[in-house]
Amino acid sequence: MPSSASLFTRAQQLIPGGVNSPVRAFRSVGGAPFFTRSARGATLTTVDGRELIDFVCTWGPAIHGHNHPRIRAAIAAALEHGTSFGTPNPYEVEMAELIVKFFPSIRKVRMCNSGTEATMSAIRLARGFTQRDKIIKFAGCYHGHSDSLLIKAGSGALTHGHPDSAGIPAAFARETVVLPYNDPAAIAAAFAANPGQIACIILEPYIGNIGFIKPDAGYLQYVREACTTHGALLIFDEVMTGFRQARGGVQELEKITPDLTCLGKIIGGGLPVGAFGGRADVMDYLAPLGPVYQAGTLSGNPLALAAGIASLQMLEELNPYAKLDALGRQVVTAALAAATAKGLPLQAPQTGSMFSLFFTPTPVRDMPTALASDAKLFGKFFHACLAGGVYLPPSAYEAWFLSTAHEGAAIDRACEVIASAIKSL
């Protein structure tokens, strides 16, 4: 097996930056990425033979741990019948029934192939339905990489210092109103400044893409009411939080009913999938019923949906959310104790299996407070953890993810490594 170093040398000659998604390149933490040969449960095995406890979980999908036998069996069973048909297939109906069952706000749903497609299509649908062009998004929220949404975006776009991408026409950017998160007055001002022009507000109800940030009490309720008052649609981007914070996502926990919801990640069980759904009257604006076009050669792919259905069925049977929350609490408690002992300021927002460690004395509630954290110190912390066999998101501005497979020895060992890494800073 070639080493990570030799693979990365070859990759850099052929693939821009050597990676197919920027954050994988380790630019913000320094050093070169490892290549993974295999993954099982809470563990990644690198091509160099190292075993790492993984807090990335393929950026969220692997809520049952990597390479779960039941998901593998579901894919194998579907594979017996073929890889893609280009016609309707039974898995699509089963998946739609599962999504609608757990998300009462979703009466109809359309499958696509990524979270990016889901948010891009939901925005187009909102514009078509309202016959308005402008949208509101929030600084630090990442909704995939389509043009309208890659403005003041979080995640890899932010990590690489370009929250606004080159290649987006100024005319497109003008249709996207970017506001600070957790600031109700900014929303009121934006509606006043753009009367009758705002098609929708899109947001991550809990932000996971600038690190993990939660809304202030009452904020989501305010956003809901402002949309209703001004005839704009409310889009919850639950690509990351859907089926992770609860089976019904953040909207179940916070008791908010959005008009449209975007899903992805967990609903694909580790294969490429996205979905968007919501009010039936809005969804019926989609082709072939309505005037808003949206399509996909591989949409509703049988292998991806078989994997996703198995993943959702396990969440239905196991209801692992209390367990995942306890695991998350164990990690942040260990980190906070180590930071206190060391006299190091640390913020550790956590709900369920998502959390972040921000090296800053200031509570993190929006993009500026996240950016005020010490990213350089995070890089040092990241490498100390990696040396100890624990793999964190390779950026100070990403959420960490847990799976049910972390329970037991993996979480105990990881907490020890994290605490001693903090001590070493």
Ligand X SMILES: *Cc1c(COP(=O)(O)O)cnc(C)c1O
Binding site for ligand X (CB under 6 A): 114-116, 119, 142-144, 204, 208-209, 237, 239-240, 264, 274
Q: How far is the CB of 273 from ligand X (least distance, A)?
A: 8
Residue among 249, 200, 195 at smallest CA distance from 228: 200
Rounded to 5 degrees, what angle do the CA atoms 268, 270, 271 make?
Answer: 65
| Size of the chain, expressed as the number of residues it contains | 425
Active-site pick, 91, 137, 237, 366 = 237
Query: Is 108 in the active site?
Result: no
- Other beta carbons within 10 Å of 27: 18
Two structure tokens written together for 409: 């020895």
- Judged by beta carbon, residue 205 or residue 328, the one nearer ligand X is 205
Closest separation in Å from C-beta 338 to ligand X:
28
- Least distance CB 239 / ligand X (angstroms): 4
When the beta carbons of 126 and 417 are compared against ligand X, the nearer one is 126
CA dihedral of residues 409, 246, 106, 114 (deg, nearest 10): -30
d(CA 33, CA 249): 32
Could you tell me the maximum CA-CA distance found in the chain, to the nearest angstrom? 62
Q: Are 306 and 77 in contact (CB under 8 A)?
A: yes
Q: Which residues of 228-261 are buried (b: 16+ CB within 10 A; e: fewer)?
A: eebebbbbbbbbbbbbbbbbbbbbbbbebebbbb
Residue 163 near residue 154 (C-beta atoms within 8 A):
yes
Residue 268 CB, nearest distance to ligand X (Å)? 8
Which one of the listed residues 54, 265, 321, 397 is annotated catalytic?
265
Candidates 91, 134, 142, 219; catalytic one: 142
237 in active site = yes
- Of the pair 143, 230, the CB lying nearest ligand X is at 143
Is 208 or 394 the residue whose CB approaches ligand X more closely?
A: 208
Q: Is residue 423 annotated as part of the catalytic site, yes or no?
A: no
Closest residue to ligand X: CB criterion:
115
Please say whether the beta carbons of 200 and 130 come within 8 A: yes
Q: What is the DSSP string of 197-265?
A: TEEEEEE-SSB-SSS-B-PPTTHHHHHHHHHHHHTPEEEEE-TTTBTTTBTTHHHHHHT---SEEEEEG
> Where do the DSSP E strands lie in 127-171?
134-138
- Residue (202 or 357) nearer to ligand X, CB: 202
The closest alpha carbon to 204, from 159, 157, 144, 162, belongs to 144
Nearer to ligand X, 21 or 420 (CB): 21
Compare residues 34 and 138 and give the one whose CB is closer to ligand X.
138
57: DSSP letter = G
- How far apart CA 130 and CA 232 sit, in angstroms, is 7
Q: Which residues are designated catalytic? A: 142, 237, 265
